[in-house]
Structure 1
């Protein structure tokens, strides 16, 4: 076998046919051999032929095994990929659609269970389309709720680090300041469930909670029994001006002062709409009590 033939053989070890052909050709070159030599030569050739084909057989089997394994791996990857895709699609189909209500301006929203929500401008409600089965929603902003009572189906309003659990009642939520969120209860009963430990604070009518969502702490403070919530209005019944000013401070997140006025003798009766501006309310007070008011920076002063 010359160098060129050896080179051809080394480049194609898997294909043994060229090597067999060359070897046979070399073997059968004319020469002077005896009959015994011819018999020995045939036996040697048969042995070489068997060994070569045996190696080629096992190498082919090995290559076939590698190819079959690769194909099987690809099939398994495709199967599990498709199964994962199908599982994700099935889970997506099981998840209810999420509904978002945004109040660009003040508006009244009626939820699927009949609950009314008076939303202040900029507030948002987030809940699932199966709300009647699972009455949970997430509130961002300020809103007043009149919750329809359903036995065995509580109502939950999720806030930052807490949620309000309702049985059927009316209440107001103000989230203007994270360290002083306010929940005021007008009628019924609610629980404030706060923090990871889900500590429960019970709230009764004419009470409010000042809740610090950053420190996860709360303080219960009384509100005034002569302020009632009636269908989107705060109804005032002979409330002291000082108590009314306190109510307006936390309702509008502002600061109002009384300048040289008798604090207990001045009383107010009337209505305040849920979406009424502070200036409109101050105008009503000034007109009914023959007073005036002025604004200095972010503070309002009521005076003679």
Structure 2
């Protein structure tokens, strides 16, 4: 990949064609994603240092060589490795040393925490975690995350949401806990987790493998997991299995951070099954739905609004 194009992309100066080239390059190989992460982080450091010192930035050819050299070293010592899957995620560190990772709409990210726990984050999700774990392993989630927790008998891992506290020693589970949504759920695929919080009551609730616990508008539900395709979101797929069009539209609003007004309500209870790549965008889903359901839509980019007629 031409380093001048990467430089323009990081600085926000790339043309549409160049941005597409970079996105395709990122999708080709995970190593490219890691290189971009290192380059972007180094750019931010360089900008801050120059602003503080009032220095002039080095010549471009020297700057590129320096970025590449230091970028490799950054990846070697990084405590938390973030895989950017096709686009830049947003990260910041506060004065207490906690980091916040936010995944924009229509995107996803994968990271490895300091203890070796792997986390996949879905669109419009925010994870807050410490740079290093002390006596506790605790993170905060607003959104959807899939966790494969590194086992530690002496130190439980806790995921805090607006409704649940999820305590585990080492297991695999999915949490959907968007604060703006009326539904929050925990799906346990392997191992054991313990739920606590006001929604659960005074006594903690222990889940069993292949069990799903959901809180829908204040109602507590226990179900068996019967659709594992749902969890393919971490692979970049949105899967619907005999799901109502109304429910699909709600998920599209959530995942793509877009407001959808439905004027034609006749088909909302119709069901649909299908799989879509997240990166193809919301319009691709709507166009496929049009093949089986009679509706038209108008998209207003300025208002971030889609009207279905």
Q: TM-score if structure 2 supplies the norm length?
A: 0.47
Whose Rg is larger?
A: 1
Q: TM-score if structure 1 supplies the norm length?
A: 0.47
RCO (CA 8 Å, sep 6+): is it higher in 1 or 2?
2
